[in-house]
Amino acid sequence: MMAVELMEKKSTHKNTVKKMVRLYNRGDSPYTIATKVGLSATTVRYYLFEKEGLTPRTLKEVHDMKRAFKPQDLADDYNAGESAYDIADKYGIPSSTVYFHLRSLKVPLRTISEAMQRKKNTSSAEGSI
């Protein structure tokens, strides 16, 4: 392996570890992080807790984090145009929980075609900036 390739590989590895730490500190679980970075949950836990020295969360901490949102916050984000999946990712909860709260608050849900159109408009607007 050439020196340049080795340096790029080390740089990519460091960036992946930094991303894992950032996601964990944001509230993501090791399993969710593993899915996002393409590693096993065991490998993610090893790097976070053994190599980086982070402390695993207690069940109470996990439970408290999941309650760190108000259902109205979810509705406000959805009405502002965010997708249920983006909202779920933002709060670290399943999209089914987002949909549950939206329905309980009687928020009109977008149809698939409305969601696709909104996504298309958003991506074309970002491309023109």
pLDDT at residue 114 in the model: 86
User: Tell me, what amino acid is at 52?
Assistant: E
Which residue is it, tokens 């023109």? 128
Residues sharing a CB contact under 8 Å with residue 27, sequence separation 6 or more, in sequence order: 65, 68, 92
Neighbours of 36 (CB within 10 A): 14
Residues sharing a CB contact under 8 Å with residue 16, sequence separation 6 or more, in sequence order: 37, 39
pLDDT at residue 128 in the model: 54
What is the rounded CA–CA span in Å between residue 106 and residue 77?
Answer: 14
What is the rounded CA–CA span in Å between residue 20 and residue 26?
Answer: 10
Q: Is 7 helix (H, G, I), strand (E, B) or coil?
A: helix
> What's the distance, CA 1 to chain centroid?
34
pLDDT at residue 42 in the model: 95
Mean pLDDT, range 35-43, rounded to an integer:
92
pTM of the model: 0.51
